[in-house]
Each structure stands twice: as C-alpha cells, then as structure tokens.
Structure 1
Amino acid sequence: MDIRQMKYFIAVVEERSFTKAAEKLFIAQPPLSRAIQNLEEELEVSLLLRNPRSIELTEAGRYFYENAKKIVHSEVHLKKMTQQIGGAHHTLRIGYIGSAIYSELAECIKSYRLQYPQIAIHVEAMNTLTQIEALKSGKIDIGIGRLKTLDLEIERIILKEERLYVAFYKEHPLLQEKNNQVLVLEDIVNEPLILFPDTAQPNFLSNILEIFSTKMITPSNLFEPVRDVQSALGLVMSGLGISIVSEGLVNIYSKDLIFIPLNEACAVTPIILSHRKNESYTLVENFIILSKQIFGVH
C-alpha cells in the first residue's frame, strides 16, 4: 500500500466513478481499476460496492477514505515544509487581520526586514478563520488575528489586548453629555450602532456582541453589518450612528471623528499570533521572538 494507491482511491470516491477519476488523474481506467483491486486484496477487505451506475463505500471503505485523506494531506504538507525549511524558499508568509496592521505589527514587519534582509516577506490580508486553515495547509507561516480559536494543530500567543473605543461624529449629543470622558456599554446601548465586518461569524462583530452579552445587555438599534472598518467609520462621519473600533485605529481617523474609550474590563480585543504547533522553523521562530520584544510580551 502506498500514497499513489491512496490518491487513486480518494479520486474514485470523490468522483463516484472510475471513468471520471481516471480522467481527473490523467490515466487510463484499467490501471486505475487494477490499483484499487490490488489495494483491496492487500487489505483483505472490500472498500467499494460496485453498482452499474455508481459506487458506494463499505464501512471499511469509509474508514479508509477518511484516514487516507489525512495521510495524503500530511504527505503534501511534509514535502512543502521540508522544502521551505531546507532553504528552497526563503520567504516568510504572514496572514493578518486588516486592523492589526495599525498596531505594533507594522513595526515587527519593518524590523524583521531590516534584521533579516535575505528573507522575503509575503503578507496577505485574511480573517482569522482563513488564517487557521492557511496555516494548517502550509499556505502561510504566521497568522495575526483576533479570535481566540482552539485548534490542536495551532499554537497561539496573545501579543496584546487592545482597548476598545467608541467612534462618534463631532456633533454627536452624547459627547457634550459625557464631556468626552470614558463610557460604559450602557451609555451606548440605545445609540444607532454600526458594526463590521459582514463576513461569516465568528469575527470582530461577534466579539463586540459578546462583550455586550457579558454585561447582559443588547444593543437596541443595530445597523445591518457593513463590510469593513472603513465603511463603518465612513457612515459614522455621515452622522448615521456610532461604531466601536480597536485602539490602533484611533490616531488614523482622529482628525475626522471623536474617539472615547470604553471603561469596561471586558471591552478589549486581542492581537493573537498563531503558528503551527511543534514545528521548528527558524524564519518563524525569529519573527515570534521579535514580535514578543516589540509588543512587550514576557
């Protein structure tokens, strides 16, 4: 039994046809059929029920299919990572959540480039859930996100807990009432609230709603979620409502909007560095060490 046979079997199962699987694999059908037959003979079990119009998996076939996929995926990942660690590709690939670039992350990337000029850095904006899948598939080496996800293959390091701020247009009546001081969630629970993003949850929006839930209150005047922070703050500038953002964005928009911090222990959003667990990779280790220094993680 070898990887080639596993790939053949997976193709047959997913195409539900020897003919279509052979076309997908760019081989003739007879060798494909013989390979599957040899596999069954070696295992001494039937993996497929062959019907005139389709094929079905036996119970043993289902077990073999699920585990063969894991082995094939591991083989591809092993090859890719061995090439990278062996120097075939001197590139550090980072996936990051858009708002994190306004934090110390920008300084981390700049410092890494200066300290390791021989290493190319490829950065790509992607949400945290996409980062996790990209890490597991080997597409990226470092993920910078905000969600506290749990995955046994991924190691997470909290670099920072950013304070949350409420963004107001300059003529908002609540500014005079509160004299531009700190706020609590109850102060804004009935205000028109513009949140983001409008992508699949969990995301930054769900984090904000969870913070309200912690205080057992619910915003009563929520806008339909908008695409991103730029869209949200554009609507705030238009006087349509208020929004909640991380502290890294405050200086970027301070000329056009007023930002007041939320005085709640739970009103924070983390910046989390994620990487593959139990993997010794110098490019990644150097970035982690540098990031901890710049963010002040002990």
Structure 2
Amino acid sequence: MELRHLRYFVAVVEAQSFTKAAEKLFIAQPPLSRQIQNLEQELGAPLFERGSRPLRTTAVGHFFYQQALKLLSNAEEIKLITQRAGMTERTIQLGYSSSLLCGLLPRIVCLFRQQHPNLNIKLLELNGMAQIQALKEGRVDVCFGRVRISDPAVKRVQLREERLMAAVHSSHPFANQRRPISLAELNDEQIFSYPSQAGPGYAVQVKSLFLEYGLEPKRFAVLDCLQQSLGMVAAGEGICIVPESVKMMQFRHVNYLPLADSAAVSPIYLIVRNDDEGQYTRPLFDCVYQVYDLEAIEYDRRVF
C-alpha cells in the first residue's frame, strides 16, 4: 500500500463518484477503479457499497477513510517539517568589496535575511580578482563588487553608480572649500588608494580615472585596506579618493569633499557564475531594488 492509493481512495470518497474523482486526479477512470479494487483485495474487505448512488462507503470503508485522512495529514506534516529542516541547512555565501559595508549593502542583506529566515547567509570580504576566483571555485555564490572584470565564467549586472569624494585632512588647504574639487587640483597630491592586491582592483580604477582626464598622479601609493588609507589621511600624510558612502567613517580630522569631474563615479556590480541561475539570485535583486526605492536612488532595473 502506498500513499497514492490512500489519496485515490480519499478522492473517491469525497467525490462520491469514480468519474468525478478521476477528473479531479487527472487520471482515467478504469485505472482508478483497478487501484481501488487492488486496495480492497489487500485489505480483505469491500470499501464501497457497489451500486449505491451517490457512492457510499461500507462500515469498513468509513473507518479506513478516517485513518487514511490521518495518515495523509501526518505525511504532509512530515514533509513540511523536513523541508524546513532542509532550508535551515541551506547556505548562501556573499562576497563583497570592503567599502560596500559603508553603504546600503548591510540593509540589503538584512532585508534578504528577513525575507528568507531559514537561509544561512555568510559574508566574505573579497576584492577585485579574488571575487572572480572565489565564484569560479564555488567558495561564494554571489558577489557585490566595484571593479568591472571580464571573464567568460561570470556574468554581472551594474546596479548603480556612486559618486566619488576626496578625503583630506582638516588642515589641508582644500578642507574648507565650498565647491567641488577637480581631479586636476589633486594631481600633485600624495594619493593613497587600496586594496593592495594582484590584478585589477579599486586602486587601478582610481588611477585610470586620472588618466581618463589626461592626468597622471605624481605620488600614488596603494595600501592594504580602506581603513589604513583613511588613517594616513587622518595623519596628514595625503589624500584618498573614496566612494561617497565612506564618509560615514568619521575619522577625526578627515573631511570629505565632492569631486567635480562627471566621470568621478564608482560602479556597483552584482556578479554570479555564468552557469548558475541560483534559486536566490532574483530574490536578492528584489531586495536591492526595494532598498534603492526606499532611499529614492535612481537606477535602471536589470537582471541577468
């Protein structure tokens, strides 16, 4: 006896007709009748009063119907419990560039957690090529990054662009400027960028921005991380070009100045493996755009 036999029997009892039950079950009537006959043979007792209109159960059939309902209900409950247990064990690994924690990424992840309470979400700080490598090796499922890297193994969507700012010491001549600062004015400054890594990264992106305007910084140093770069600014050692959201990091004696150049922006990408449609990719997109809507941020909604 299988659960499907119980479902067939219950359907016939509740429809009070083999014909109506067959329609409800989307099967032909002869196979349904044979299944019920086999069930009666296995139980050794008739379950229906043949010839009755509408179809009625025998006393044994009525008893079996009550027990069948309990068994089917228990089976469904076990299925749901097992599914919930399975969901608890599911994990999604999110890679992210360090500066994105200063922006909207924490709110996006928090909303995603609320909408998927049984999903285990883990965050891993990765930058540039490290994100691509981690995706290709399966160590992460999705990455939020700032650097456009072409690789046939991954696909990406640009979520939006974020304005860049110059972080300068409060004693710097530019510190109290009421106008945006141009890159040309910063070209001769000691510029700190980050992170120190092989291959293209945010530091390369910043240097390329100067080159785009025909400029080449005379003194350009790449440090290990964002915090170290801002620490050097706080020490009065130079300046740092950072995304606008980084201004939430209130280092003492560090002022943040808007940049005047139209190309002074940093793109934000969502990146996944090219062969992975991921169950949670689209829900993650939805969370991103929900947060953008709440913050009145303009964007061009796109998915892969």
TM-score by length of 2: 0.65
Is the contact made by 1:169 and 1:239 (CA closer than 8 Å) also made in structure 2? yes
Q: Distance in 1 between matches of 2:87 and 2:276?
A: 16
Aligned residues, how many?
A: 210
What are the within-5 Å matches in structure 2 for residues 1-298 of structure 1?
89-176=89-176, 179-222=177-220, 224-253=221-250, 256-296=253-293, 297=299, 298=301
SS in 2 for 1:200: coil
Is the contact made by 1:159 and 1:295 (CA closer than 8 Å) also made in structure 2? no
Q: Residue 37 of structure 2 corresponds to which residue in structure 1?
A: none
Q: Distance in 1 between matches of 2:226 and 2:248?
A: 14
Change (3 A) 1:137 1:278: same
Change (3 A) 1:89 1:280: farther
Q: Look at both structures and tell me which one has the larger radius of gyration over its CA atoms.
A: 2
Q: Which amino acid aligns with 1:195?
A: S
Is the contact made by 2:93 and 2:142 (CA closer than 8 Å) also made in structure 1? yes
Structure 1 stretches of 5 or more lacking a match?
Answer: 1-85
SS in 1 for 2:205: helix
Structure 2 stretches of 5 or more lacking a match?
Answer: 1-85, 294-298
Change (3 A) 1:245 1:89: same
Give the root-mean-square deviation of aligned CA atoms: 1.9
Range 145-154 or range 287-296, more displaced: 287-296
Q: Which amino acid aligns with 2:284?
A: F
Shift of 1:270: 1.2
Q: Which amino acid aligns with 2:210?
A: F
CA displacement 1:221-258 (0-9 Å, x = unmatched) = 33x32111111111111111111111111122265411
SS in 2 for 1:173: coil
Q: Distance in 2 between matches of 1:92 and 1:284?
A: 10
Shift of 1:142: 0.5
Q: Residue 61 of structure 1 corresponds to which residue in structure 2?
A: none
Shift of 1:183: 0.8
Is the contact made by 1:92 and 1:284 (CA closer than 8 Å) also made in structure 2? no
Range 269-278 or range 182-191, more displaced: 269-278
**What's the % identity of the aligned pairs?**
27
Q: Distance in 2 between matches of 1:243 and 1:201?
A: 20
Change (3 A) 1:133 1:107: same
Shift of 1:284: 2.6
Is the contact made by 2:94 and 2:143 (CA closer than 8 Å) also made in structure 1? yes
